[in-house]
Chain A
């Protein structure tokens, strides 16, 4: 990361409250006591602007600012945490002292000398909110509304939204961390309702990333989201009831990678494994998936939604191999859990905002490409389901049970994709399902940039991806038993 981005984030945040470097050091040395292993101050300012169109009118838009400080004191496995929505010296003092209250105050321990490092940056420190004018945002929404309606007379409702987010963070910690980051994030979405002979269905599409909004104007990006939403909705008009019971399932490339996020991703987060509560606990080096599977978490892909130049503890973003040829290689770590497990942080310490504590979280999680031709994969199935788009998923990391819900799926009959079926939930056990991956396509795709992952009530933007893959048997939750 260029020093300019890191420094400008720091300066922006500290000048708000007229706080000097010297005052930060004083604050930190007061927070540290004999029993405190690490103190951390997190400064953040996030600005967000969103516009939405509904029923042909750009009827609502909002601007929000969230600015504050989170102070954390860590002693062994214990954390004291306090936050405040005001970047002011007195508030900072009060917050730090509250955080420190987990340990009795003892003799002070000197803090480390901050070490500055040059880091690679995975996105530019721009403000995407101003990258397109308000007028042009309104025009774009209206244009896409008309475009979607022009695609088919059965389109009855169109909703379009555009969202731009600018976040500055600065982390100052007693372990020497002194880093700032500026993170742009944008998202565009189209959702339609179509109607035919009284039957109504919906379709959704969208995308985004850590860049500005000009991408919407390139290569008909915005129009293509509208095309995709309409195509999906029209397909669902023809959908028949989904089958119920265990069967082979072929998952399309890209967003269906939500499978990996749920089936293995969460179970490999450091906190669950430190506490021994994950179905993957104490299994490093074991075969936990089919040897066809290599799965990584990669914060370093330029401009992706889940990418991070530094995480929310100041650790540089990295690429971590989770599963290599089916063998469990490593967990995703934040500083607290890494230290307690005797390893290094993998740059996965993330928090929703200054008002939340960092947890080990995913960034962009995906499976690497295999050797199979996607068509051959479909051909290999006699009777099963081809699932192309998903709504989302959920996992119980202790039992390993996970679900993900298809919003566009088809029957496979005699090696051919035939009729569309209604959305259905797929359910399985993570480690079991991963051993049943029998074919992996050569067509790796990452999702288009819409994912939000929730854990302990905190939402963070993430990416997923995978090539086409075949699971020999998984339970499909339709109504046709």
Chain B
């Protein structure tokens, strides 16, 4: 065993991964690349990871679970000319490295020639590695996590007598080290950290129970919402869902609350991704330079924000990321491409083989109260359920709950609804944007108002 096995000791407050671990993991990757080369691979790429985490869940004032996690492993892709094989393993013993490489090579003898396959184009690989300040790891300390979770939970439980019970509050910290290398000579490793806090509570009235949760995540604890804030938000949301009243089926303006607006933005990013484009299975086929959203909005990536959750200098193929518009004033400007999907479309990789980086929804924003005033009468969706999004046809139909707005103000809770429309219409009918932007997530958006959707109710 020569990888960076890190001892998880109880109650130790120390930096889990050091720069030395980056060097060790890089060395591990280059050794696997050597094994692949001597095994007959004409090209190869390897990603190796080493993650350590601690997670404490409190429920009703007492510890529910303490979980220590340690994940290591690597993933290798080999090429024999234009034929590709892949293997991954969580087993990093010397003999298992050989076993995984052999498995990938054996597969590459049977897959078929694909002239679009291969590593990234050498001139696309990242050469600058700015310090993105992604490693701000908190101590792996059970007591700290326990206190945070307990405070969040007790704040929620004491918030109002309608809070019936807690389904648990959870605090976590993780320390991650990842290395990527390929046979073009690219080799780099970096560390990152995450801290998070989550509370899940249940409110009860004579009309039944409702559950709500609040979640906060950042590179370190000091950037998180406070435990008191998390508990209060979870409790407020659960109470706001109590005693739902019926509304008639019809066409209404629908506001996607900030927590569900992130998901809404993900659908258009999927539709603009390389694979559905070359498989011709997206409703936004051949849409570059065409209008795909309201002209009031732009979607732009900022990969280099220090400490941000979506920051990275290169994607999973080593291709340099860049600051760029995906959608500018409603016009599609860039697809999200890997090397492979780029070649399939006769284009170059956009450095998005592993998705978007700090995708920011840019529009004129208003305080949420003003957005509700503009809506006047309609539905605010705070949670969505089910899979009813078809990127190929652009049909959208999902389960929803939230609250009803009359005269620009909260009227009552609603649930057991569906919201449906064409995705194309939804994006073009985005008419107002809340200033409640969450900047600690990879999709940075506030609440979004859509002027018209079909709402079905019992």
Among A85, A401, A428, which residue has its beta carbon within 8 angstroms of that of B70? A85
A-B contact count (CB 8 A): 280
Within 8 A of A (CB), among B3-23: 5, 7-8, 10-11
B123 part of interface (Cβ distance < 8 Å): no
A55-B279, A63-B87 as given contacts; A245 in contact with B456, CB under 8 Å:
yes
Contact with A along B58-69 (1 / 0, CB 8 A): 010011111111
Among B107, B393, B397, which residue has its beta carbon within 8 angstroms of that of A425? B397
Mostly helix, strand, loop or mixed at chain B's interface? strand
Number of interface residues of B (CB under 8 A): 85
A277-B167, A277-B209, A475-B456 as given contacts; A82 in contact with B68, CB under 8 Å:
yes
Please indicate the chain A residues that have their CB under 8 angstroms from the CB of B85 in the complex.
61-63
Contact A193 B67 (CB under 8 A): no
Contact A476 B167 (CB under 8 A): no
Contact B111 A83 (CB under 8 A): no
Contact B167 A138 (CB under 8 A): no
Number of interface residues of A (CB under 8 A): 84
Instruction: Give the residue name and chain of the B residue nearest to A101 (CB).
Output: B10
B37 part of interface (Cβ distance < 8 Å): no
Contact with A along B411-436 (1 / 0, CB 8 A): 00001111111100000000000000
Give A101 to B63 CA distance when docked, in angstroms: 12
Instruction: Give the residue name and chain of the A residue nearest to B210 (CB).
Output: A399
Contact B399 A403 (CB under 8 A): yes
A81-B65, A98-B8 as given contacts; A475 in contact with B458, CB under 8 Å:
yes
Give A86 to B70 CA distance when docked, in angstroms: 10
Instruction: Give the residue name and chain of the A residue nearest to B63 (CB).
Output: A78
Contact B281 A425 (CB under 8 A): no
Among A138, A195, A425, A476, which residue has its beta carbon within 8 angstroms of that of B112? A138
Contact B416 A401 (CB under 8 A): yes
Within 8 A of B (CB), among A111-141: 134-135, 137-138
A157-B281, A475-B417, A479-B420 as given contacts; A58 in contact with B89, CB under 8 Å:
no
B73 part of interface (Cβ distance < 8 Å): yes
Please indicate the chain B residues that have their CB under 8 angstroms from the CB of A134 in the complex.
106-107, 109-110
Please indicate the chain A residues that have their CB under 8 angstroms from the CB of B113 in the complex.
57
A78-B62, A275-B165, A405-B388 as given contacts; A478 in contact with B454, CB under 8 Å:
yes
Question: Can you name 5 A-B residue pairings with CB atoms under 8 Å?
Answer: A62-B107, A65-B100, A85-B73, A479-B397, A481-B455
Q: Which residues of A contact B (CB under 8 A)?
A: 54-55, 57-68, 77-86, 94-95, 97-99, 101-102, 134-135, 137-138, 156-157, 159, 193, 195, 200-202, 236, 242, 244-246, 275-277, 279, 355, 357, 391-396, 398-405, 422-429, 473, 475-481
Known: A65-B88, A82-B67, A98-B10. 17 other contacts (CB 8 A): A77-B59, A80-B65, A81-B67, A85-B71, A138-B110, A193-B280, A245-B456, A277-B209, A279-B208, A394-B387, A399-B401, A401-B399, A401-B416, A425-B420, A427-B418, A475-B418, A476-B418
Q: Which residues of B contact A (CB under 8 A)?
A: 1, 5, 7-8, 10-11, 59, 62-73, 84-93, 96, 99-100, 103-104, 106-107, 109-114, 117, 142, 165, 167, 202, 208-211, 241, 249-251, 278-281, 383, 385-388, 390, 392-393, 395, 397-399, 401, 415-422, 454-458
